[in-house]
Homo-oligomer: A and B are copies of this chain.
Amino acid sequence: MNSTDRIFLPKGFQFSAVTAGIKASGRPDLALIAAGPSTQAAAVFTKNLVVAAPLEVARTSLESTGGRVRAVVVNSGNANCATGPAGLRGCKEVCVQMGKLLKVKAAEVFPSSTGIIGVPFPTEKVVSYLQALLAGAGSSIDDFRRFANAILTTDTRAKVASAALPSVSACVTGVAKGSGMIHPQLATMLVYVMTDVAASATELHQSLREACDESFNVISVDGDTSTNDTVLLLASGESGIRLRVVRNEFRAALSEVCRSLAHQIVSDGEGVQHVIRLHVEEAKTRTEALQIARSIAHSLLVKTAWAGADPNWGRILAAAGRSGVRLDPKKISVVIGDQTVCKASVACDFDARRAHNHLSQPECSIRVRLGRGKAAIEFLTTDLTSDYVRINADYST
């Protein structure tokens, strides 16, 4: 089953979106998930020390409620980061007001923001649209898609993924935004995954960390870790199925949804022409494989070579060599597509045209073999194009 082909909506969730005028473009920029009374939640946040106000509020709220969430309020167009005490007050005020409308505690409202850093948070504007936001909530696929679109910023398309559990009537469905500032450290920009399975916050947290490790933690667009990264997993319990009864298939579904969303985020990376499936193999540990993958994926020279579909494996070797892992350069091999281009750190006789053609595809594969052990990782990353520079060099203030 391809997780983007069909969307299953878990029981117990409603969605909405409105235009509150935060984005200059006039596109929808305020969105809501309303969740049923039994909903439990787990979240992981950015590891950046500079964190946005909503992350501070959400972290505290989740602790105080023991993982109870009744609503998620997301605005796009303003990150509410580096906005000081006023930004923090504004974020709390949004939670208080949405809590009143829903007749739940303010701490049961999970806030999120994404957009530009350092611009004052438009509290009054957001608060004045909360009632309309709630009034428009519904549980159709269209409502879900309205939510998915309203949380986007530089993204060119919405990112959704869904998986039904095979043996029971329950599902896992996720929605994400993210295109630049993508180098998640335990989380990516904004990701909301919902299920109607019944689970405790602790069970959810463990499942979520595992799923993140093999999805959002092994992707990179530009090596910049955001201040607002959030992955939230909500379980309404309304299917009546306990997670522990379907543990394996739940984990498989959650993993599938997270991996699909991670892939969609990378594919929609700013200015991306090629998605690279970078396999680092024969490492001693998964950790060192990840360290080498990140060093390669963050090299400007490697990323620009990929933009030209250039099989310049010397740059890959150089990037591996400065990763900090004490590898033996004489044991490294590089495989582009189905051709070994470098063996024991020396050039092989390979068909450069075929390698170029492989790298010209929208998605291509590069394997770096270290000759040190049996650990491996698949890391998803991208080329670096002039379009990325253009998108991010536009004078924004």
Contact = CB atoms under 8 A, between A and B. Distances in A.
Interface of A: 47-51, 79, 81-84, 116-120, 180-181, 185, 222-227, 298-301, 304-305, 307-315, 317-322, 326-327, 329, 332, 342, 344-347, 352, 355-356, 384-386, 388-397
A355 B118 CA distance: 15
B181 A318 contact: yes
Copies in the complex: 2
Contacts of A82: 313-314, 317, 342, 345-347
A192 B391 CA distance: 40
Contacts of A313: 82, 118
Contacts of A390: 386
B312 A120 contact: no
**4 tightest A-B CB contacts, nearest first:** A117-B314, A50-B321, A308-B393, A84-B346
- Which secondary structure dominates chain A's binding surface? loop
B397 A307 contact: no
Contacts of A384: 300, 389
Interface centre among A48, A320, A322 (most CB of B within 10 A): A322
Contacts of A342: 82, 118
Contacts of A311: 397
A308 B307 CA distance: 21
Contact of A320 (B50, B310, B320, B393): B50
A397 B47 CA distance: 40
A84 B352 CA distance: 20
